A = this chain, B = another copy of it.
Amino acid sequence: MTAIPLQSSPALSQAHDGHAANLQRVHALTRAQLAEVETQLLHLPDLQPEALREAVIHIVAAGGKRLRPAITVLVAGLFNRAEDRRVIDLASAVEMLHTATLVHDDLIDGSLMRRGAQTLNAVWTPAATVLTGDYLFAYAANLAARTHNTRVMSIFADTLGVIVAGELQQQFTDFALRPTREDYYRRIYSKTASMFVLATTACGVLCEADEAQLEALRAYGRDLGLAFQIMDDVLDFIGDVREVGKPVGSDLRRGLITLPVICYIETHGKDGLECALQGRCTAETYEAIIARIRHSDAISQAIEEARQLGQRARTALAHFPPSPYREALADLVSYTLARTH
């Protein structure tokens, strides 16, 4: 499998969408809180043995850009509550829940690498991986309980339910149904957007948002989350392997039908893609199909869909008065649409 690095994609640069895609404002407004989140995430009480603890700390520390806890902190800022201790606890709980689901996902998918590093199940036993994921769920629940807010706890439990029910459904969805938009959007809502909705709405509840504000936070979280996952799926086709950390087209190779494939089929039909839709091509055929999709208009169509969702997310922010926090939440939309890894 030769991955073709694509240094500069014209399609992707469209995604800059006229907005400066930097996170300077986000960093400035969340730095102090995210440092505290980081401390809590790495605390991992009573996790033994030491070698497993180190492996889990490595996974947690490699956890990327802390987008979800940053969203929680910024939402709190909309309500002048960014300094609230319980916001740190909630932000930590959200990120810990996210990490726990990744640990079980990697086991379920048999993934050996994530973000360029070995997964737990690549190094440890399946038993240790199941239990480590459970441990992280328990710790996430413990962090969420520190908010002392029962509605937050309910949203938290319900979100885990949505994520897991979605994954179960995906496990048993007929191959024939997978290349539908309905299946795709349902799946990426439960897999990704639901956690963004948790990050926004649970914080809204904590900050005593009214129902109209909660609805705006839900819309922002959902649309940003959907756009985020679409861009992830686009990057799986066009990203630089050194940045994305996995071979180009890895989703399709493991039978996962994403929006670029669906857009491609809508315009060009299924001809020649049959084996990929069944998850059973030869390596050469996968290469050819992936190259065809990545150089087609399906990529820019998928990006346009993400862009429209991003625009809806920005519109939802109009429910809140102007503030640096609101601007930073808008920056996250631009960043999501412009990211290259």
Query: Quick check: is A288 within 8 A (CB to CB) of the other chain?
Result: no
Is the CB of A118 closer than 8 A to any CB of chain B? Answer: no
Cα-based distance from A156 to B141 in the complex (angstroms): 9
Judge if A202 is at the interface, Cβ distance under 8 Å: no
Are B154 and A135 in contact, CB atoms less than 8 angstroms apart? no
Min Cβ gap A145→B in Å is: 4
Bound complex: CA of A98 vs CA of B153, how far in Å?
Answer: 20
Q: How far is the CB of A119 from chain B (nearest CB, A)?
A: 14
Q: Does A17 contact B (CB under 8 A)?
A: no
Q: Is the interface of A mostly helix, strand, loop or mixed?
A: helix
A337 at the interface (CB under 8 A from B): no
How far is it, in angstroms, between the C-alpha of A153 and the C-alpha of B148 when the chains are bound?
A: 9
| Distance between Cα atoms of A238 and B46 in the complex (Å) | 35
Contact B171 A127 (CB under 8 A): yes
- Say yes or no: A157-B171 contact (C-beta < 8 A), given A47-B165, A148-B150: no
- Among residues of B, the one whose C-beta sits closest to the C-beta of A158 is B142
Chain B residues within an 8 Å CB radius of A158: 138, 142
Q: Within the assembled complex, what's the spacing in Å between the Cα atoms of A30 and B175?
A: 47
- Are A108 and B127 closer than 8 Å at their CB atoms? yes
A50's nearest neighbour on chain B, judged by CB, is B172
> Is the pair A168, B48 in contact by a Cβ cutoff of 8 Å?
yes
Chain A: residues with CB nearer than 8 A to chain B? 45-49, 52, 104, 107-108, 125-128, 130-135, 137-139, 141-142, 144-150, 153-154, 156-158, 160-165, 167-169, 171-172
User: Whole-angstrom distance from the CB of A62 to the nearest CB of chain B?
Assistant: 21
Q: Residue on B with the closest CB to A129? A: B130
Residue of B nearest to A170 (CB): B131
A146 cross-chain contacts in B, Cβ below 8 A = 154
Which 6 pairs between the two chains have the least Cβ-Cβ distance?
A141-B157, A138-B160, A138-B161, A142-B157, A108-B127, A145-B154
A48 touches B142 (CB 8 A): no
B141–A160 CB distance below 8 A: yes
Task: Looking at the assembled complex, report how far the CB atom of A83 sits from the nearest CB atom of chain B, in whole angstroms.
Answer: 21
